[in-house]
Chain A
Amino acid sequence: NAGVTQTPKFRILKIGQSMTLQCAQDMNHNYMYWYRQDPGMGLKLIYYSVGAGITDKGEVPNGYNVSRSTTEDFPLRLELAAPSQTSVYFCASSRGGAYNEQFFGPGTRLTVL
């Protein structure tokens, strides 16, 4: 199993540009999450999904959109990129439930100039 994969690994955007961060998992997990991690900080939840067709906002959803058309894929869309969105983005998946142990991808490092 590949686990959770993310593409691209690195990206530089200009202010106002848009892009989609890709995330896929092959563990048949229902739950998927997007986090951002700013330098020296923990993770902030952007959006999450408990199954295909269902998404919910996390702590910091402004400036982002998500969709979940399949169990495997959970792309994160940035519209009109801003310097404040410079961060490392992590996707994670889990089975949910009381334990809800999360498996993380390797991250995408995004810089907005």
Chain B
Amino acid sequence: TQLLEQSPQFLSIQEGENLTVYCNSSSVFSSLQWYRQEPGEGPVLLVTVVTGGEVKKLKRLTFQFGDARKDSSLHITAAQPGDTGLYLCAGAGNNDMRFGAGTRLTVKP
């Protein structure tokens, strides 16, 4: 059983479309992070959200942390083929980190 549930598991869209992926948990986290991983490489941090209700923007990516600090969403506007990858959310506990299974995004040109 995953502590962090990500949905959808797979997403295939056309270039230019918008999308939202979700990260949900029954646990409260001190912070939540989103990473992107490309094949054959380690995950790379995109953003960290700490405050309930917080919204952060990174170019075409918008991240939101739920008010109760249990869930988060990632919205991508006008997706591009370069956005293709595995998007992972991770929750910070006392000293450790727990990752979701990820959403595998494919953006077709």
Contact = CB atoms under 8 A, between A and B. Distances in A.
Interface of A: 4, 31, 33, 35, 40-45, 48, 50, 56, 58-59, 90, 92, 96, 98-107
Nearest to A45: B96
Nearest to A50: B95
B42 A90 contact: yes
B101 A42 contact: yes
B95 to A, nearest CB: 5
16 contacts: A4-B42, A31-B95, A33-B96, A35-B99, A41-B102, A42-B2, A56-B96, A58-B96, A98-B50, A99-B48, A99-B92, A100-B33, A100-B48, A102-B97, A104-B42, A107-B42
Contacts of B99: 35, 42-45
Interface in B68-82: none
Contacts of B95: 31, 48, 50, 56, 96
Contacts of A104: 42-44
Interface residues of B, number: 26
Contacts of A41: 101-102
Contacts of B101: 41-42
A100 B97 contact: yes
Contacts of A101: 33, 45, 48
Given A41-B101, A43-B88, A104-B43, A98 B96 contact: no
